[in-house]
Structure 1
Amino acid sequence: RDPVIIERSNLVNISKLIVKELIETSLKYGRMLDSDHMPLQHFFIVLEHVLRHGLRPKK
């Protein structure tokens, strides 16, 4: 398999897990999250990777 496809798939899957975790913890804590909240930090790290590498589909 193409390494780019594998990386894209991994980023999508990690993004889904991080967003799910972020939503669950925000509901648990009343939607008030501090900047030191780990799921929020994970979200920004994954977002940075997505923006850096891109998730554009193949043409």
Structure 2
Amino acid sequence: MNAVKEKMIKIIKDQPDDSTFTDIIQELSFARMINNGLKDSDSNKVTEHNALKEEIKNW
């Protein structure tokens, strides 16, 4: 089995027995967002803190 499936299965198995479909999808989505963020960080696709503060000022 590939690593992605194994991670997904672990996330699902770690959920409480009374978890809803929505709860599980949210956990899987959260894990995906974290994984994507870590990949971006490893690839140096990040915004410096001060640059982000300036960007927010322009909103």
Pairwise TM-score range, normalised by the shorter structure: 0.3 to 0.5
Q: Return the TM-score normalized by structure 1.
A: 0.44
TM-score, normalising length: structure 2:
0.44
* Bigger RCO of structures 1 and 2 (CA < 8 A, at least 6 apart): 1
Answer with 1 or 2: which has the greater Rg: 2
